Structure 1
């Protein structure tokens, strides 16, 4: 039977063993240890904590003297001997060691190696294996993106071929129209000439009558002449010259899949000296990731929010949405299409009129602002020199919300059409690469996605007013969870995420306004602001200093809070 704890080896003592006598190879409790060290026979014995004990030499019989146990080691022959063996000729003058001491050293060496294997080599290799599994998922995701890009290139080329085909057919139609117009004109010329000849023929017939005898000798009759037949040109018909193209030409148009000319880095293995304190292998990180990681290690959610400052936004009636630009500059909008940029001091830099309402603008990695035009079904771009250009056409779909990824520059757009809704991903050049509309049970994910953002793990977080939920899907478009608030009614408006992966959303239900914060797995953490504080919330964003900017519903006021410590 296994013991639930190690007991003292002294007869009739059942107390917990804490110590060990190496010469006696006996387990001792604290009281028996004291008695052991006070006894004249054992007071000089080496008594140590149990974990530091020396192993007892097993009873191993000598090969040459079967009745004796081995207890000596011949250092030069490296073989265990019994006491009788040392007088044999082959071990004469050899150096001898206490076999028990050497056995203890070997066992200690084994324990050391076992410890290193368990604490370092095994854990490190398991972490590397885990990293490889993560790389497998990353490869699959990368290849899915590449396949989507190839399909997007092919669709773009097909659309271009269709457009060129349409233009050339239109050109052929115009050529045909011009040629037929010329031929119709020539036909009319001969119709007029035939009519003239028929009239002249009648006139000459009339002159054959006796009644017109005298007319035959008049000046008018002498002037009668037959007009010559009109000349027309025969048209040259057009010919079609077929284009010359080959498979390689089409392949070049669709791009290529290749590896960058970069030498792969070795997987990072933690130093041996850190093995005892650092059992987790760090993943692959860029310098920016490392800096973020350092910040994340120093930040945590505070138990309460602290008001830092408050400011008024010029040029808007209320604050429905906030976009963070480069160098800390902010863009603000209301529900009337007023879109304003301010400098760091809060002064208005520019103002434009749009048709947007809610989360309809975002700043790209390049620092340009892009915004949806629901009425014209396009996405516009404002470059940093204030030039406005049409960027993406969304076809039959009305674009509502938009977000530019800080991870890869992709553009996420929430759209509606009739009673349908979806999220579309474009790459940074504006090519459509993904559509997310239904879950794995073919149920509609969205109804009215009027705010959208992305988390640090690549999840797409959408504030859906008609669903009364925050809908979160992963990069592949698979539904992860939906958050429906803490009260009986939840109407989500502005939404944003932070460095820790928190999802922060405004509950805009009248009389129950709150600011909810959940983790990246959908678990509710806290209410940063409660209905009792009486603030009607709409737009929000987290700035580079991890301060939360909150816009209000009825007034153009933004309050800045510190919510992390």
Structure 2
């Protein structure tokens, strides 16, 4: 980028303000071509008719009283001292010993060059701004694409989780059904086995009862026979 444009000050010697003729002149109006003091400058720029005028500051030439007497008005042409880049001088001031062996350039040429530099700066800044805006646009597109891909991936994961959960539920339901069915079958078999055993026990009880009845009968018969074998006198 081009170098920053320096501020040029007029190096002239004006003793009194051309407007009030009282205060020392510190400023110069390029539109009115008049020197003025600080108070008159404020009033000048505060007026509706002259508020847009180009008023710049002036620097008095120090050390040479004869130059202060000779320079009474702003010259038509000003020059920039290349050794003192922040000063603009007239032809008479350029002869001061202060500028001995200095090179000068017409202020108008300097201003045109600075205008070109500023225009180039504006162009380069606009190009950089366009590049930055394109970069921001690219980032916005990337953010949108990344967000869409991320959301799609999250949705797919949730769908897979639902499917896996459904599959696990189905497997678990099938296992529960199989266990429940086997439980019912086994309980039915055990109940049948229990009834069979109870039937056997019942049969055993009946057999035992029968045996006991037979044994009792046999005892009764034995007692009768024993009575029969006794002497008849003992019979009733």
Give TM-score, length-normalised by structure 1: 0.24
2:91 equivalent in structure 1: 83
Matches within 5 A, 1:77-156: 77-78=84-85, 79-118=87-126, 120-156=127-163
Quick one: structure 1 residues 60 and 171, their matched pair in 2 at CA, closer, same or farther if it must change by over 3 Å? same
Q: 1:73, 1:110 → 2: CA distance?
A: 18
Matches within 5 A, 1:64-463: 64=60, 67-69=73-75, 71-78=78-85, 79-118=87-126, 120-174=127-181, 176-177=183-184, 179-201=186-208, 203-204=210-211, 207=214, 208=216
Shift of 1:104: 0.8
**Which one has the bigger strand percentage?**
1
2:59 equivalent in structure 1: 63
Q: 1:66, 1:143 → 2: CA distance?
A: 78
Quick one: structure 1 residues 175 and 165, their matched pair in 2 at CA, closer, same or farther if it must change by over 3 Å? same
Q: 1:176, 1:158 → 2: CA distance?
A: 26
**Which one has the bigger helix percentage?**
2
Shift of 1:94: 0.6
Shift of 1:72: 0.6
Q: Does the Cα contact within 8 Å between 1:74 and 1:94 map onto a contact in 2? A: yes
2:22 equivalent in structure 1: none
Q: 1:105, 1:151 → 2: CA distance?
A: 67
Shift of 1:151: 1.9
Quick one: structure 1 residues 62 and 86, their matched pair in 2 at CA, closer, same or farther if it must change by over 3 Å? farther
Question: Per-residue displacement from partner, 1:320-341 (whole Å, max 9, x unpaired)?
Answer: xxxxxxxxxxxxxxxxxxxxxx
Q: 1:97, 1:163 → 2: CA distance?
A: 95
SS of residue matched to 1:73: strand
Question: Per-residue displacement from partner, 1:412-455 (whole Å, max 9, x unpaired)?
Answer: xxxxxxxxxxxxxxxxxxxxxxxxxxxxxxxxxxxxxxxxxxxx
Shift of 1:172: 3.4
Shift of 1:175: 5.1
Q: 2:156, 2:149 → 1: CA distance?
A: 10
Q: Does the Cα contact within 8 Å between 1:74 and 1:97 map onto a contact in 2? A: yes
Runs of 4+ displaced beyond 4 Å? 58-62
In the alignment, structure 2 segments of 5+ residues that lack a partner are 1-53, 61-70, 223-236
Q: 2:130, 2:209 → 1: CA distance?
A: 117
Q: 1:130, 1:149 → 2: CA distance?
A: 29
Question: Per-residue displacement from partner, 1:210-263 (whole Å, max 9, x unpaired)?
Answer: 8x969xxxxxxxxxxxxxxxxxxxxxxxxxxxxxxxxxxxxxxxxxxxxxxxxx
Q: 1:113, 1:167 → 2: CA distance?
A: 78
SS of residue matched to 1:84: helix
More contact order relative to length (CA 8 Å, sep ≥ 6)? 2
Q: 2:168, 2:207 → 1: CA distance?
A: 58
SS of residue matched to 2:203: helix
In the alignment, structure 1 segments of 5+ residues that lack a partner are 1-57, 215-565
Question: Per-residue displacement from partner, 1:391-414 (whole Å, max 9, x unpaired)?
Answer: xxxxxxxxxxxxxxxxxxxxxxxx
Q: 1:197, 1:107 → 2: CA distance?
A: 130
Quick one: structure 1 residues 66 and 192, their matched pair in 2 at CA, closer, same or farther if it must change by over 3 Å? farther
Give TM-score, length-normalised by structure 2: 0.53
